[in-house]
Amino acid sequence: MAQQKITKRAVENLAKGETIFDTEVPGFFVRRQIKRPSYGIKFRIKGRQGTFAIGAHGVLAPDQARRKARELLVGIQNGVDPREEKRRQKEGLTLTEAIEKFLSIHTEKKSKPETRKQYNRILKSIVAPKLGKKKLKEVTLNDIERLHAAYEDTPYQANRMLAILSKLFSQAEKWGERDHGSNPCRHVDRYAEKSRERFLSGDELRKLASALESSWPEENNSQKDDIRPLASPFCIAAIWLLLLTGARLNEILTMEWKFLNDELNSARLPDSKTGTKTIYFSEAAQKILRRLPKIDGNPYVIVGRKEGAHLVNLQKPWRRILEAAEIEDVRLHDLRHTYASYGAMNDLSQPLLMKLLGHAQPATTQKYLHLQDAPLHIGNARVSEAMLREINQTATKQAFVKKKV
């Protein structure tokens, strides 16, 4: 077996049955068999020797084949057997393998942490156990319809699963793992989702404010051991800020002191759900912020129990506060609905409300604007009542005149 740098001239001068091993990339070779020369690599993986064909000369130039050989040999060093990869590509990915590929390529680099968490949970915990062993090319409309129907009692989750799966199959078409236009999710009907727009009444707001104030410790102690999850000033402050700003829960929990300006009347978030966003703080919200201690070594406004971390779970304190306030059926996200609803009822315009809430689409804000009708109904009632009083007074006068005559 000759050893020299594989060049175009060396390849074209190969005799039948002759092999040349490259001096630049160990394991890379070219061999002339019956017809034209072909490139390949010789390697050892898991204690066993093997060869793998790269391609024919003419289709590939020596430099192109050498680059491909380098890539394959790097993969072999990392435990990737090119023969297995070729077999897998020929047979096609299973849905579980496609899920892993989709999560690593599509979500890890392009999605925010909360989105990645949701994709992982739905695809690995719900989809993979049901359909994971099937070949990706063999998943049918009927498979998706049955999976979707299995979660009929939770329409929101069923529809999110369907949307995520649809993205996965669209990506699979781009990978060449499915025929173009074969996405099996396209013709599955989504379930109707009941819109839940719960917001606090005036009486509920007063009861919530009372419960929050009575739960606030008399003296904020910044020592970690003294921060109790159900009575922490940080828990109480987080709830107040959710109510007074309309911000999303994760925006408040991950907010750092460096995002706030010196006057504490706004915070510039570098990365919210819809990109860069400014949260505005009223005087009431500023008072809440000033009551909070800054913890050395912790950058967050809402401090968690772990050193240097923000608060992660507000659900238990929230349930305790609701119980104390004697309020039922209210989620933390309903505080955002409450802010939006009171904004609409106080005649905030759609562009202004959209900006304050950080909505990317006007349609998201539009659902609150029907509440602007409330003052119009009141005004209309007042006008009608005034006219009716005038009508009644006129009718009474006319009746009196007729009676007198």
Q: What is the 3-state secondary structure (H, E, C) of 267-316?
A: EEEEEECCEEEEEECCHHHHHHHHCCCCCCCCCECCECCCCCCECCCCHH
CA distance 373 to 369: 8
Q: Which of 58-67, 209-218, 253-262 is the least confident region?
A: 209-218
Q: Which tokens sit at 276?
A: 């860069």
Helices and strands per DSSP (H, E), number in the chain:
18, 7
Closest listed residue to residue 65, CA positions, set 18, 5, 2, 1: 5
What pLDDT is stored for residue 161 in this prediction?
Answer: 95
The alpha helices in 31-185, defined as continuous H runs, are 62-77, 82-91, 95-102, 108-110, 113-120, 128-131, 141-149, 155-175
What pLDDT does 40 receive?
A: 95
- pLDDT recorded at residue 153: 87
Q: What percent of the chain has pLDDT over 70?
A: 78
pLDDT in tens, 23-77: 999 999 999 987 789 999 999 998 889 999 999 999 999 999 999 999 999 999 8
CATH number assigned to the domain covering 202-367: 1.10.443.10
Contacts of residue 289, Cβ cutoff 8 Å, sequence gap at least 6: 237, 241, 260, 264, 281, 301
Whether this prediction's pTM lies above 0.75 is answered by no
- pLDDT of 86: 80
Distance CA 236, CA 43 (A): 63
Strand, helix or coil for residue 399: helix
DSSP line for 166-182:
HHHHHHHHHHTSS-TT-
Mean pLDDT of the chain: 82
Closest C-alpha among 65, 126, 114, 132 to residue 254: 114
Distance CA 208, CA 216 (A): 12
Highest mean pLDDT out of 119-123, 197-201, 215-219: 119-123
Residue the block writes with tokens 């998706």: 144
Tokens of 356: 């304050």
Question: What gap in Å lies between CA 138 and CA 129, rounded to an integer?
Answer: 16
Q: What are the backbone dihedrals phi and psi of residue 82, each rounded to the nearest 5 degrees, phi first?
A: -65, -25
Q: Which two tokens stand for residue 60?
A: 């590939």
Q: Judge whether 2-91 and 202-367 match in fold.
A: no
Task: Give the mean model confidence (pLDDT) for residues 328-352.
Answer: 77
**Cα 27 from chain centre:** 45
**Of how many residues is the chain composed?**
405
Tell me: pLDDT of 400 over 70. no
> For 138-143, which contacts have Cβ atoms below 8 Å and span 24 or more sequence positions?
139/95, 139/169, 139/184, 140/184, 141/184, 141/187, 141/188, 143/184
What is the C-alpha separation between 335 and 341, in angstroms, rounded? 10
Confidence of residue 195 (pLDDT cuts 50, 70, 90): low
The domain spans of the chain are: 2-91, 95-175, 202-367, 379-405
Q: What is the CATH number of domain 2-91?
A: 3.30.160
Is the pLDDT reported for residue 88 higher than 60? yes
Q: Does pLDDT of 207 surpass 50?
A: yes
Listed residue (360, 337, 247) closest to 345, CA to CA: 337
Model pLDDT, residue 90: 72
Per-residue model confidence as pLDDT tens digits over 151-180:
998 888 999 999 999 999 999 999 888 889
Residue 276: CA count within 13 A, CB half-sphere: 3
Asked if 158 and 151 count as a contact pair (C-beta separation under 8 A), the reply is yes
Centroid of chain to Cα 279: 20
